[in-house]
Amino acid sequence: MATRRFDAPDDASLNTFYDDIADKDLQPLWELSGLLTPAPKVQAVPYRWRGEELRELGERAGELVPIDRGGDRRVLSLSNPGLGGAPYATATLWGAVQYLGPGETAPAHRHTPAALRFVLDGEGVWTLVNGDPLHMSAGDLILTPSWTWHEHHNPGDTPMTWFDALDLPLVEALDAMFFEPGEGRPAPSGTAERSTSEIRFGGGPGLLPGGASAPAPAHSPLLRYQWADTDRALAGQLAEAGTGAERTGHAHVRFADPTNGRDVMPTMRCEMHRYLPGHTAPAERHTGSALVAVFRGAGAVELDGVLHSLAPGDLVAIPSWTSVRVLADEPMDLFSVSDTPVLEALALYRTETRGD
Ligand code: 1HN
């Protein structure tokens, strides 16, 4: 925001006034431009990172960079070219790929930014959340909510790469960052077929633990959403004759807190979409930003009119108010994470469908 100097030579008193307000760290609104734009002026740009390249670079990091030199986490962050070199995928979301080799451990820590993992490929790592071991397998969504202790263990003999998303840029903008390393805490031992979280809250559709319940946390108490369940829900929508999904060729589910139907965490909404070739979902744009991970299938996404091909493992940044249209060459499964709950809570959520 630049302040324009009034440069009429005979108006010395006005120029002195401008000097005086600047001297007192004030700015005149009447000289400011670009403040109230008719629509969001977004710095992040629509962008697609190729899964093939992310996988290869993650593996090279695994060979070259020991996990201690990687600051406890071997993470390659998505740096949106519109954000001036910041390690952020959008204005509010951090996106990354993380690589953990056989036998490696990413030690416990906690921070106020909330995180989630979506597993693009492979299995065999356990993420412990407050000591509860969550098995990670292809297509699973794993939550590590704000201020929960978390660590990753790979006791197997194959490396694993996954997609990380965090609300870190948002937490930073709100000046609410706190971090605590886990040093000195006993190293929890690690693996189980099913976490306590899944035993209690993943017992089956509509089944919650009986008896007195503890005060509800601000996030879903179910911390792992298994691919088999997500896949069944999507396939079911597409098979249900005469319904929206069956007619349009586009099924989608929202990952929810099973106790109240709210989003999995206060700052992030997670969804899984399945598009069939020839589906008829229209182009749409909305306020707030999103990251998309291609799980399976192939196609393309048109972002503000520019077509980007999509293959498994590709990651896409969709800044606020970007028009999005998906094209499927074969059935295509897309995981998405967005800051929509924040926009909704603040009554700033707007959406527009092409033709509106
Ligand atoms: C973090 O704690 C993890 O725990 C991954 O796996 C990515 C990016 C920024 C800050 C903390 C993890 C992260 C992160």
Cα 124 from Cα 137, distance rounded (Å): 7
| Residue of 67, 72, 74, 75 with the most ligand 1 atoms within 8 Å of its CB, for mutation | 75
Is residue 168 within 6 Å of ligand 1 at its C-beta? yes
Is residue 165 within 6 Å of ligand 1 at its C-beta? no
Q: 233 CA to middle of ligand 1, Å?
A: 30
Cα 308 from Cα 304, distance rounded (Å): 11
Is residue 115 within 6 Å of ligand 1 at its C-beta? yes
Indicate the SS3 state at residue 229. Answer: helix
Is residue 163 within 6 Å of ligand 1 at its C-beta? no
Which tokens is 348 given?
């700033």
Indicate the SS3 state at residue 223. Answer: coil
Residue 208 falls inside a structural domain: no
Indicate the SS3 state at residue 248. Answer: helix
Q: 251 CA to middle of ligand 1, Å?
A: 31
Nearest CA to ligand 1 atom 6: 73
Residue 19 falls inside a structural domain: no
User: pLDDT (tens digit, 0 to 9) for every residue of the chain, 356 residues total?
Assistant: 555 555 555 689 999 999 999 999 999 999 999 999 999 999 999 999 999 999 999 999 999 998 876 578 999 999 999 999 999 999 999 999 999 999 999 999 999 999 999 999 999 999 999 999 999 999 999 999 999 999 999 999 999 999 999 999 999 999 999 999 997 454 556 788 899 999 999 999 999 999 877 788 999 999 999 999 999 999 999 999 888 898 899 999 999 999 999 999 999 999 999 999 999 889 999 999 999 999 999 999 999 999 999 999 999 999 999 999 999 999 999 999 999 999 999 999 999 998 55
Residue 87 falls inside a structural domain: yes
CATH label of the domain that carries residue 283: 2.60.120.10
Nearest CA to ligand 1 atom 12: 73
Which tokens is 176 given?
């609410």
What pLDDT does 186 receive? 47
Q: 30 CA to middle of ligand 1, Å?
A: 43
| Residue of 93, 94, 116, 166 with the most ligand 1 atoms within 8 Å of its CB, for mutation | 166
Compute the residue count for the chain: 356
Is residue 164 within 6 Å of ligand 1 at its C-beta? yes
Residue 346 falls inside a structural domain: yes
Nearest CA to ligand 1 atom 10: 168
Cα 45 from Cα 317, distance rounded (Å): 8
Residue 12 falls inside a structural domain: no
Q: 110 CA to middle of ligand 1, Å?
A: 9
Q: Are 223 and 148 in contact (CB under 8 A)?
A: no
pTM of the model: 0.94
Q: Which domain holds residue 87?
A: 47-183+194-201+223-354
DSSP 81: G
Q: 228 CA to middle of ligand 1, Å?
A: 26
Sole residue written with tokens 């499964």: 333
At residue 229, what is the residue type? D
Is residue 98 within 6 Å of ligand 1 at its C-beta? yes
Is residue 96 within 6 Å of ligand 1 at its C-beta? yes
Is residue 100 within 6 Å of ligand 1 at its C-beta? no
Query: For residue 150, which atom of ligand 1 is closest to its CA?
Result: 4
Number of domains in the chain: 1
Residue 36 falls inside a structural domain: no
Is residue 93 within 6 Å of ligand 1 at its C-beta? no
Residue 231: CB atoms within 10 Å: 17
| Residue of 112, 164, 291 with the most ligand 1 atoms within 8 Å of its CB, for mutation | 164
Cα 315 from chain centre: 10
What pLDDT does 69 receive? 63
Which tokens is 35 given?
């403040």
Q: Where are any strands of DSSP class E within 297-342?
A: 299-303, 306-310, 315-318, 324-328, 332-338
What are residue 75's DSSP bridge partners?
A: 98
Query: For residue 117, which atom of ligand 1 is closest to its CA?
Result: 6
Residue 3 falls inside a structural domain: no
What pLDDT does 67 receive? 85
Residue 324 falls inside a structural domain: yes
Q: 73 CA to middle of ligand 1, Å?
A: 7
Q: Are 141 and 197 in contact (CB under 8 A)?
A: no
